[in-house]
Structure 1
Amino acid sequence: MHEFRNGTPAGRLSADWRKSARSNPNGNCVEVATLPTGEVAMRNSRFPDGPALVYTRAEITAFVLGAKDGEFDDLLV
């Protein structure tokens, strides 16, 4: 079984990356992918071979539910 860690070069991850339909055409996007382990990786679309952040399902669930509840609205421009 593979073990993925934060900072693993995203280009080394065998993953189907996707980004939000709300992303702009300037390339300022965060892309996500589900890894074979069930974890979720994130990368900067401008640097597709740069480091990836890897989160557990529990961490992603907490973040997404918090975002839906408005916990991070203060970060919006």
Structure 2
Amino acid sequence: MAQVAVKKGNKVLHVDDTRLESLLEQGFDQIDKDGKVIRKATGGRVVTLKEFNALQDEKEKLNEKIAELKAENKKLKAEAKKQGE
């Protein structure tokens, strides 16, 4: 059995890989030897309504920006095509 590292808050555990799925459901992230997250937790975390609403607002703004950039990209491609003819 291989050992994996998991982290939740400031707690780091080295456990058998057979326990990984259970720990992911409990809110632990799987990390590599450098501490970078490999797999995020699948449960066991609570987000406040304030945080959720802030993320929703950010998502809406980013989706608007994506739409603007797609429109600009389409326009620039059309201009480039005209210049290439």
TM-score bin, normalised by smaller chain:
under 0.3
Q: TM-score, normalised by structure 1?
A: 0.25
Relative contact order, CA 8 A, sep 6+: which one is greater?
Answer: 1
Instruction: State the structure with more CA Rg.
Output: 2
Which structure features the higher share of helix residues?
2
